[in-house]
């Protein structure tokens, strides 16, 4: 098995199960044209997140790590007309491209892009009593995952679903000697989830067009 085969399988299921979507295709084209890295979730993963948010009945979503808004749009489309999604991005260029993509997708009434360091924005959201959110997607710098998880919990309620992307990192997560800040961040995050009494979580490994990685899926089972 190799990435070529995983990609072929991704394409097979994407062609069968995902409707043609010119809005999302344009998002990826605009991101590439603006020079953004192609590190958005894959289409089948975007739909996975969308379905999870719908299954959960989410009316409010917090996303940490916007890039060009690809996952943002998948998630926002899971919301009712009076729902809301706040997405956090520190790179002004990424945020500008995302805002334009979100507007083109007709979602600017329910999506707010907050520009700044995610940690600062999370502290601000908490101060402003903006929570609790029903669904939280963590997908920014991986070294920040322990902080993001802590603040996600503060912005949660019993029943909130928290998803963290890229927790497997081509299997490097099991290297306890790693000094790579991303691996250290993911391992610390995993320790925190393991010890956290208010959360029940698991990890699903993924392979596909974006390589070998995985999602952590957590349900907040206790009150803050
Ligand atoms: N969720 C996006 C998607 O699937 O379409 C992909 C997000 S990309 C993996 C990570 C994003 O997080 C990048 O746009 C990066 O600029 C942003 N980021 C990295 N560190 C950040 C920080 N400390 N605060 C806010 N955003 C950050």
ipTM of the complex, rounded to two decimals: 0.99
> Is residue 130 within 8 Å of residue 86, measured between CB atoms?
yes
Residue of the CA atom closest to atom 11 of ligand 1: 65
For residue 92, report the distance from its CA to the centre of ligand 1, in Å. Answer: 11
User: 179-197 pLDDT, tens per residue?
Assistant: 999 999 999 999 999 999 9
Dihedral, 86, 87, 91, 93 alpha carbons, nearest 10: -80
For residue 36, report the distance from its CA to the centre of ligand 1, in Å. Answer: 11
Mind listing the domains of the chain with CATH numbers?
3-220 (3.40.50.150)
For residue 95, report the distance from its CA to the centre of ligand 1, in Å. Answer: 10
User: 108-135 pLDDT, tens per residue?
Assistant: 999 999 999 999 999 999 999 999 999 9
Atom of ligand 1 nearest to the CA of 36: 14
Pocket test for ligand 1, best of 44, 45, 49, 65 (most atoms within 8 A of CB): 65
* pLDDT given for residue 1 in this prediction: 75
Give the binding-site residues of ligand 1, using a 6 Å CB cut-off: 39-41, 65-67, 70-71, 88-91, 94, 117-118, 139-141, 144
For residue 40, report the distance from its CA to the centre of ligand 1, in Å. Answer: 9
User: 1-39 pLDDT, tens per residue?
Assistant: 788 999 999 999 999 999 999 999 999 999 999 999 999
Taking alpha carbons only, the member of 199, 194, 210, 86 closest to residue 136 is: 86
* pLDDT given for residue 211 in this prediction: 94
């Amino acid at each position: 098995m190799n990435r070529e085969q995983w990609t072929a399988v991704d394409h097979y299921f994407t062609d069968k199960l995902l409707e043609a979507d010119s809005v999302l295709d344009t998002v990826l084209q605009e991101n590439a044209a603006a020079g953004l890295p192609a590190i958005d979730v894959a289409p089948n993963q975007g739909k996975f997140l969308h379905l999870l948010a719908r299954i959960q009945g989410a009316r409010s979503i917090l996303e940490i790590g916007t890039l060009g808004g690809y996952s943002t749009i998948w998630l926002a489309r899971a919301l009712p007309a009076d729902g809301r999604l706040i997405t956090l991005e520190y790179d002004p260029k990424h945020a500008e491209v995302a805002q334009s993509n979100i507007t083109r997708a007709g979602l600017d009434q329910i999506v707010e892009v907050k520009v700044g360091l995610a940690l600062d924005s999370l502290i601000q959201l908490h101060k402003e009593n903006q929570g609790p959110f029903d669904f939280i997607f963590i997908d920014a710098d991986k070294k920040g995952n322990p902080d993001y998880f802590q603040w996600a919990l503060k912005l949660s309620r019993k029943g909130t679903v928290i998803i963290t992307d890229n927790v497997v990192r081509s299997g490097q997560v099991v290297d306890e000697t790693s000094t790579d800040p991303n691996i250290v961040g993911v391992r610390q995050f995993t320790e925190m989830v393991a010890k956290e009494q208010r959360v029940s979580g698991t990890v699903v490994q993924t392979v596909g067009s974006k390589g070998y990685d995985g999602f952590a899926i957590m349900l907040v089972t206790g009150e803050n």
